[in-house]
Amino acid sequence: MGDDFAAADRLRDRVAAFLGQHDPHGDRIEFLRARFDAGLAWVHHPIGLGGLDVPRHLQPVVDAAFVLAGAPDNQPRRNSIGLGMAAPTLLRHGTPDQHHRFLRPLWTGEEIWCQLFSEPGAGSDLAGVTTRAVRDGDDWLVTGQKVWTSMAHQARWGILLARTDPELPKHRGMTYFVCDLSAPGVQVRPLRQLTGEAEFNEVFLTDVRLPDSLRLGAVGEGWQVARTTLMNERVSIGGAPMAREGGMIGLLTRTWRERADLRTPGRHDEILRLWVRAEAARLTALRLRQQLVAGEPGPEGSAVKLSFAGLAQAISGTEVELLGADGLRHDDWSLRSPTEPDLLGRGATYRYLRARGNSIEGGTSEILRNIIAERVLGLPAEPRVDR
C-alpha cells in the first residue's frame, strides 16, 4: 500500500512538471500529443508507447490530475472502439512499427477506429465470416460485406477479420487486418435505426488492397487475435468506470426526486430495486477493472456486459413509464449520423429505443450466457454441428 501511495505521488509530480511546460488551454491536439509522448496517456503501456510501464490501477491518479488542471481530454466517447478494443489488440499483437504508427493518433483522437467484424451471416457466430482476403504479392485483396459497424462514417481505420483459407476449419482459416477505410473499394452506407439516426453502418469491400504490413498477427491466427478484441469489447461496453448514480440510473433517480407529481404507489420500490442492481453492477465492473491489472480480461467481462444490457433496458423502460405521456415524446426522428454516441444527452424515448440494441451489440445476451455457462460455471457445451 505504501508503495502505491509513493507511486501516486510521483505521478502527480510528473503531471505537475508536465503542466509547467505545456499550456492545457493552448492547442488541444499538440497538448495531447505531448501528453502521450510524456508517458501520461496509458500509464501501464511501455515507455515510448504512451506509458511509463507502471500498474494500470494508477491511471485514475493521472487522469484526475489533468481534470483538476482543466486540461482537454481525448474525447473518449467519440473513439470508444479505438481506445477500448483496437488499442489493447494492437499493443498485444502488433509489430513495433504498428505500435508507433497507430497508437499515438488513436489515443489523441486524430484517427477514429471502427470494428469490421459482423456480417449479414456472421454476427453471434463470428467464426462464420465469409469476407475473403486473397494474397497478391506483398498485398491482400479484400472483398466482402460488414454490417452494424459503429461509427464507420467517422473512422479512418478499422479492425478487420477476414477469411484467408476457406479449406481450413472456420476458426483456423481467418486472418486479422487493420483496414484503411480511405482505400479505393471501401463504401460506407448508413443504417437507419429505431431511434431515427444512423450510428451504425454497413461497409462494402470490393478488391480493397491492403499491404501485408497491415496484417495483425500471423496468417491464419485471426481468431486468436480477435479473442483479445472481443474480451476487451465486453469490458468496454459494460465495464466503464462510473461514479455512484452515474449513467442512466442517475437520470431516473433525479427525475424521481424532482418530480413529486410522478410518484405513484409501488413505484418507489421498483426504482429502489433498480438502484441496487445498478450499484451492484457498478461495483462488479470496478472489481473486474481491478483484475485487469494482473492480466487480460477473461470471460467475466461477458457477465458484466450481460448485466449492463438487461439493466439499461429495465431502467429506460421504467423511466418512460414514470414520465407517462412525456416519456413518449422523441425529440428527433430525422436521419443523421452522429459524431459520437450521446445516450445521456437525449430524451427518455431515445434511451428506451437505443437500449434495445444493448442485448445485441458486443455479443448477444444469448451467446454471453453460453460463454458464462461453459467458461465460468463449467457446464457442458452445447452441441456444435458446425465442427
Just list the catalytic residues: 233
Residue 286 is placed in which grid cell?
470496478
The β-bridge relationship of strands 157-163 and 113-116 is parallel
Residue 204 is placed in which grid cell?
462494402
Residue 35 is placed in which grid cell?
501528453
Residues 256 and 252: their CA atoms lie apart, in Å, by: 6
CA distances from 328 to 215, 250, 313, 321 (A): 47, 20, 16, 9
Cell numbers 493552448 correspond to 26
Instruction: Choose among 76, 100, 80, 75: nearest CA to 90.
Output: 100
3 state SS of 338: coil
Answer whether 29's CB lies under 8 Å from 110's CB: yes
Rounded to 10 degrees, the C-alpha dihedral 176/182/185/186 comes to: 70
Residues 343 and 199: their CA atoms lie apart, in Å, by: 11
Residue type for position 251: L
Residues 236 and 375: their CA atoms lie apart, in Å, by: 20
Residues 77 and 342: their CA atoms lie apart, in Å, by: 8
DSSP one-letter code for 357: G
Residues 27 and 136: their CA atoms lie apart, in Å, by: 43
Residues 6+ apart with CB under 8 A from 383: none
Residues 6+ apart with CB under 8 A from 365: 306, 309, 310, 359
CA 378 to chain centre: 27
Residue 311 is placed in which grid cell?
439493466
Answer whether 122's CB lies under 8 Å from 386's CB: no
